[in-house]
Structure formats: structure tokens, C-alpha cells
Chains A and B, each alone.
Chain A
Amino acid sequence: MMGELILRNLLHRPMRTLIGAMGIAVEVALVILIVGLTNGLLTETAKRIEGIGADIMVQPPSASFLFAFGSAPMPIKIGDKLAELKYVKSVAPVLFQFNTSGVEVVYGIDSESFRAVSGGFVFLQGNDLEGPDDILVDDIAAKTKKIQPGQTYRIFDHDWHVAGIVEHGKGSRLFVPLATLQELVGARDKATIFFVKCTRPEHMDDVMENIRHILPGYTVRPLKDYLSLMTSTNIPGLEAFINSMILLAISIGLLVIFLTMYTTVIERTRDIGVLKSLGANHWFVIRALLAESAALCLLGVGAGVGLSYLVRAGFLWKFPTLTILITPEWILRATGIALAGAMLGASYPAWMASRKDAVEALSYD
């Protein structure tokens, strides 16, 4: 009976129900998309770094694991010292340069050493870096930027010749010769990071120990741990930003439900009087209104999840390099967040309804 009452009440004012549900949908979609975009970018970046295939990464002391924040403070000769260590198969120095126009990190690589560490690129079109102004572009960036081999591509105020299109997943989306990038950014003989490949994976701990011995204070990490580092909690301010956005989303849902239920209670003042005349107690009235809010909220959650997938599809169509990770875990969390907000928003109108004087309510016009 309670279910029928709630359903009929929701259907009685379809426009109000629709607006209420859309408010919740926006809340849910905001939560899912903000978290999805953040986690998607972090996870995708981490997977690309892991895809390089190295075993160890070496960075200067106190370096951030966020490569976009890196500079080039390490002499490239460190690479020679690393290569001499026992169980080290190959070492690839890489210079990172953040391209503000494309919001991406460009890798300056030495083709030979990078190939030795990563196993080489899979070429979809064109060939490897040969000239000083050559650039390699991965397939996703090529599709997004509509780049073909032989074209000229301009970044860092420099015209590059597109030498080849490679399969994505080897760290960056754009690769240029190390020496040219060093010249361009004024970091001659410097590298941001060294990727180290061991002769066998089981020697990784020994190699890391040896590196720490010859380069005390340097940051030495196994690449397999990189994915676990790339979380919002490890990035300064990001967790706070996400929480702020979630709070903002909750506020939207809370206000929408509050307003919807407040007007509902005023409109149904006489009905509340009737229920009380039939012997309904405070809890019955509260329960009926909270259950109606929950039902409205769940409608909104369904619409919100659908909206999230729709927005994601739109974004990926427009920006193929983006990754928006929608997970069941965060759909559940967003549902919980929306429900909690809805209950909070409905609690005052429900309390107000339960306290209504039956006689006054019955004479309400």
C-alpha cells in the first residue's frame, strides 16, 4: 500500500517528479564524471608508463612521480654509471617537457636506448626517429590531431616532421629526439628520468639496492608500483578538489529534494490531515515522505548513471585522448551519496509534515 501511495504521488505531478529526478541525475553524473575523469586520466597515464616495459625508474632526490612536474636536473652521464651495474640490461634516459598547448608530456628519447628498454615501438605508419626534427605520434593522438606521416607538426615553437605513427601505450603520446629537446629547453646533457631494464625481473631488488648505493638520496622505484602511486590521494590538492566537487554535487541534490518535498508537503497539507484523522502517527507521515524522496532519488540515480555514460560518450567522441573511468564502485558510492543527500533534504519537510496540526491541516485550502 505504501508503495502504491508513493508511486501514485510521484505520478500525480509528473513535471515536478521529472525536475526532482533530473536534479538528482545531475548530482550523480557530476560525482561519477569528476571521479571518473580524474581516475581515468591517472590510471591511463600510469598504464602508459608501465607499458614502457622497464623494471625500475630513477629520478632525482624528492622528485615527483607526476612527470609533468619534473625538470631535467640529472646529468645524462648517470646513465653510464647505471649501465655498468650488475644485472642491468639497458638504461634509457628520457627528458620530459610539458606541452601547455596540448596539455601533454612530450618525451625526449634516445631511440636506441629507449628501444632496448621498451622492446621498441609498434609502427602503424612511417618509421623511427631518424632526423633531429623528427617526431613520433601515437595512434590516439594522431587520430585526435588528425596527423599523418610526412606532415609538419608544431610544438615548443618548433616545426617537427612527423616520421611515424606508433601504437599507444609507451609512456607518452609524442616522442622527439633527446638531443633536440635538450637544446630546445636549455637542458643540454640532462635527463628527467632513467628507465632501467634488468637482465631478469628477479634481479630488480638487487639492482635497486645497488642504485641506491651509488646514488644516495635519489628516488628509485619499481615501475610496477607506479599504478598504485597514481591515485587522487597521492596528488596534492586533488583529493580535496574531488571532495569539494562531491560536496557541491550533494548540495545540488539536497536543495532539489528539499524544495521538491517542501512544496509537496505544503500542497498535501490536507492529505496529511486526512492521514492523521485515519490514525496515522508521526512516523507514518515521516516514513511516507522519506520513502517518496528515496524513490524520487533512485529515479534520479538511474537517470544520472545514464547521463554519465551519455556525457562520457560525447566527450570521448570529441576528445579521444581522454579517459573517463566509470566503475560500479563509484556508481554505488554516488547512489549512496545521493540517497544520503536526499534523506537529509527531505528530513525537514517530513518533520514539518509530521508536526502539522490535524485540525488545521484538514481546513487547509
Chain B
Amino acid sequence: MGIAATITEPTEGLLFQGKKSVEPILRTENLWKLYRAGKVEVPALRGVNFEVLPGESVAVMGPSGCGKSSLLYVIGGLAQASRGKVLVDGNDLTELSDAARTKLRRHKIGFVFQRFNLLPTLTAKGNIAIAQFIHGDGFDPHRFDVVTQMLGLAGRLHHKPSELSGGEQQRVAIARAIINEPKILLADEPTGNLDSKNSEIVLQMLRQLNKDLGQTIVMITHNPEATTYFHRVVHMRDGIIVDGVPAD
């Protein structure tokens, strides 16, 4: 997915539409996640079966404590599944070592968090560039320019997070998440700390990423309005998915 090529020749529609035969880029099978609280095991996920196709954008909704964040962390390889399978681009995360999951995350996953989670000591530019550094391919100025211009950050790159608004910080976080062209972008309530205006900007940008670049996105949200920006909405309750219907 070369970004320059994508921009000069915008992708028409979504990759997954009308292509049900396409292999899911993300699939979970009977996924369980148990947390220990003293001597008691508390299930956060209770056999989740979930699929996301390449280029699809999916919103995951549900009440607090229903397992949304656990699902995101497990499919992102940040947490280990207790049972079941997690297939990311054909790789079963449950069979990978911690080091291998880290490597897969580095190359295939991008995260956006509710609290932005930018490194406070670095500038906006540094926060984006460090993702490229960790990725291992070094600083790519062309890719960097394209992403930062697309997200409207060109004039704010030399500012530290404390000098940026919440919306700007979240855009920096999105830029950091997509700078290495991950297969999947996972967003954990990315508008949760933003006012309605900035929330809309961020959601539009996520939609633009999906539409223009074919970026696969899985987003957790509490905001029902946010779901209108996504192709499909999945509802969770008590650690399981209760439905999964295409959004309007």
C-alpha cells in the first residue's frame, strides 16, 4: 500500500465491499481473556468470534467493563490471549512468543489511545519519527511529509505535546500510528478526551484514512454518533459480541 501511489490514484470505494471471498485480515476464534484478581480468575473475553476484512472500518461499542479494551489489546498483541485464536494477517498471535508478537505489532499494527499517549519530552515531529525509528526502516521524509500534511500537522511539528491542543495531539498520535503503513489501525476511544468539534475532526480523518488509503480500522467508542463514520458496528456485552451489523 504505497501512500504516494494511493494519493495520486485514490482507491475507489472499499476494498472489502462485495468481496466476501477475501480473507479477513483479522480474525478471532473462541477468544478468551482471563485476568487474575487474587485467587480468582475474572474473564474479560468469553469466546469472542470476530472478523475484520482488509479495508474495513469497524466500531466496537458496549458498556464499560464489557471487554472492548481487552479485545483491542489482545488483537493488537499487547496482551496474551488465555484461550482461542487471534489471526492477524495470517499469523496466529496465540502461538507467537512475546518477541514475535512485538515484531508483528511493530510491522502490522498501529495504536491510537484515548489519552493520546505522546512522549512528553519529544516534539510532535519526534513523536512521529520515533515510530519510524522503532520500525527499523529509518526516517522516511517523503512518507513523513505526506502523513503530516494529510493530518494538518505541518505547522505544529516543532511543538511539544504540552503546547498542542487535544485535537492536535490526537492527530499526532494518528500520524504516529500510520507512519509505518500498518495493516490494521486500532483506536481505543480516540475521541474520548476531545470536545465535539475535535472529535468530529478526528473521526473525519479516520474515515479519510480508510477511504483514501484503504486503512483497516477497528475503533472502540462510547459515542453512538461516532459509529456513523464506520462501515460496521459491533456490540459487546459481558465479554462476548452480541451483534455485528453494518452501519448506515
Contact = CB atoms under 8 A, between A and B. Distances in A.
B122 interface: yes
A278 B131 contact: yes
B107 A279 contact: yes
A8 B160 CA distance: 11
Given A8-B122, A279-B105, A284-B134, A270 B78 contact: no
Interface stretch (B16-24, B85-93, B112-120, B219-227): B112-120
A278 B176 contact: yes
B40 interface: no
Contacts of B130: 1, 5, 275, 278
B106 A359 contact: no
Given A5-B126, A11-B121, A362-B117, A276 B133 contact: no
B105 A8 contact: no
Interface residues of A, number: 24
Contacts of A284: 134
B140 to A, nearest CB: 13
Q: Is the interface of A mostly helix, strand, loop or mixed?
A: helix
* Chain B residues touching A, range: 20 to 34
Given A276-B102, A278-B106, A359-B79, A5 B121 contact: yes
Contact of B78 (A5, A8, A11, A359): A359
A117 B73 CA distance: 88
B134 A275 contact: yes
Contact of B105 (A5, A277, A282): A277
Nearest to A279: B106
A147 interface: no
B129 interface: yes
A359 B79 CA distance: 7
Given A1-B133, A4-B126, A277 B76 contact: yes
B245 interface: no
A15 to B, nearest CB: 15
Q: Which of A9, A273, A277, A280 has the most CB of B within 10 A?
A: A277
A8 B111 contact: no
A277 B78 contact: yes
A159 to B, nearest CB: 70
Contacts of A4: 122, 126
Nearest to B179: A278
A274 interface: yes
A273 B99 CA distance: 15
B135 interface: yes
Nearest to A357: B79
A280 B111 CA distance: 13
Q: Which of A2, A9, A273, A362 has the most CB of B within 10 A?
A: A362
- List the 4 closest pairs (A to B, CB-CB), nearest first: A279-B106, A1-B133, A8-B121, A12-B121
5 contacts: A1-B126, A270-B117, A277-B111, A279-B102, A282-B99
Given A276-B102, A281-B99, A282-B99, 20 more contacts: A1-B126, A1-B132, A2-B133, A270-B117, A271-B119, A273-B117, A274-B118, A275-B130, A276-B78, A277-B113, A278-B131, A278-B176, A279-B105, A279-B134, A280-B106, A281-B102, A281-B103, A358-B78, A358-B79, A362-B117
